[in-house]
Chains A and B, each alone.
Chain A
Amino acid sequence: MKDNLIGRGLSLGISRRRLLQGSAGLVGGTLVQGLPAFAADKPALGTYPAGVSGSTAFIGISVPRTGTYAVQGEDELKGYELAVEHINSGHELIKKISPKTTKGVLGKELKYGVADSAAKPNEAVQAQQRFISENKAIMITGGTSSAVAVALNKLAQREHVIFVCGISGSNDTTGKDCVRYGFRQDFFGQTAAAAIGPVMVKTFGKGKKAAYLTPDYTYGHTVTKSMQDYLATAGWTTATDQVAPLGAPDYSSYLLNVANSGADVLINVNWGHDAVLSTQQAKQFGVLDKMKLVVPYQVPFIAPETKGLMQGVYAATDYWWTLEDKFPLAKIFNETFEKKYGYKPEWGAENAYVSFAHWARMVEEAGSFYPPDVIKAYEKGETIPSLVGDVHYRAEDHQCVRPVIIVRGKMEKDMKSKDDYWEVVEIVPGEGLMQKPDAFGCHLGEYS
């Protein structure tokens, strides 16, 4: 083989001496290219610098593509894919969020692998461990279940690989289970409750009784707790809290308890298909005729899937596409997303896109993929753009301080298009919704 190459070189009119000189130059050049990382005193850490030594950088993506959260996981994945495409091509939207981006991140093309987590922590961790070991992933992402997010937080901290969280509503993700290597862009239980609580009190009054449908894991427990805590300040009490396992095939027995509880308002904390099924069955059991429904942590696609049951229902969310009337970046995002995928993006896609764009910005700002430098770029707490206005990350818990959007399901007669399911009632600024940084027991851990 070697002989053949040299022979070919000679046949092209290049002397053996010139070829050797050229080879030496190439080897030297490669060495010099590799020097800055060490020259700048950046020791190997996690997958750095191995993961970015070539012309590409790899991202490990785990989303649920099967199971209870599959519909939301697919939407989230599309947001990630669009973000990677935009980052690699230097799209105008990415440049508005990350002005130093040209093409790729620090000139390196992003590659990614996708794994189905089925919203199960063990499957997500196994997949991401594989991406880290085999592909030298420089960043990992995943969510659509806080149980997954918490598990990946721990993996990220152990492996020293940055974890940019997908959908995760638990207070624990940036609370007691927070880590130095984990960052969350989206809203969560505390901010959802603080944003929608006043709207509920204003709409339904003080001293009401609430029934909860709660999924039995960290997301459900913390969102329900935040809602109970907030509403207690207005004299609301809990008539019943029906805790069901993720993926329960039937909610009849829970709903009978709700129906017999004497509650005024049903607060459905379930998510994904669980939310769709429990809402449909609540209608079947007449619960929705007896009490008002509230969805404190809005579920992408719940409106079309429940066929009209969201009409008049209040919900808190990260994003709704009609925000494009107010935010120019949202308009660009909606247009490019819809052009590529044929539907209006839901908030899973928005969160995915923005969290990747923010990560790209932080790496560009740091001027390096070296994880502690990127983390410190986040921790500067700079005000940065998002699709819903300016936001910033808190240094103390790595939670993005961002607005929460309150929406109300539109009546069919008021819908201006087939996707016009929700009316934006209020955009609640994030700063006033946040708990104190140490309120949920966050201790970030070490940089290295």
Chain B
Amino acid sequence: MKAIRKIVNSKAFITLVWITVIIIIWEICAARAAEVKRTPENVLPHLSGVIDSLTSDRKINGSQTALGMVLENAGATLSRAAVGYVIGIAAGFILALLMSLSGIIEKIAFPYLMLIQLIPILGMAPIINAITGDIAVSRIVIAAILTFYPVAANTLAGFKAVRREAHELMYSYAANKLQLYTKTMIPACIPYFFTGLKISAPMAITASILVDTLQGGIGLGCLLSQSLKGAMTRYVFWDIVFFSAVIGILSFYIMGLIETLLCPYKRLEKKGR
């Protein structure tokens, strides 16, 4: 009895219940769509249909299965998103570091850092594509710009959150600037830094897919547009929707996982004392 109650009260169980509820609602709607629509897969396909399309070995474009096609295009999109993500992280971290080191740099950069957040970068995707002239480069640039702000802002907040006593402690040891940063400031800002990483990981992926849709070629977004236009079965579209949703959510959790691996003390906190 006790064991059952423990399972029922666990977080995983509750999440599972919610997922089941969502699946049931989805299937009811899909059944309704199947009744009234001529092409129900355009509106809402049964989940079994989506899974079938991923597992079937039928060649869609003559040479590839749906899954193979999605994976190949995902590789092109995600690898660019990852490169842009890493560049954005590095740039964001370095700017936060410079802003923390120099008052003048902070004063110059701070208002612009705020502005970047308000500018619809994704809306600028087409023009960045036009300037760089290369879709692969555009993907990297836009993913980097989108990653940059959350990382820089959160890391800077982390540097600012270091308590005055910690500064004074290092001062009392007559520690130099390098030691202040390597021993105190940087380790202290790691949780904030990861907050930035968690926010921007799904954004980098979104950006990369969006840039794809601007131009033909290879990439998840291109595939998505083609499927929407009817160039191939609509199930490819649904495959991509699910795939990108899963990847987006996964990217968030992977960052959280890396954080707990890097910071064993965080793990203790979660366990509770």
Whether chain B is bound by chain A comes out as no
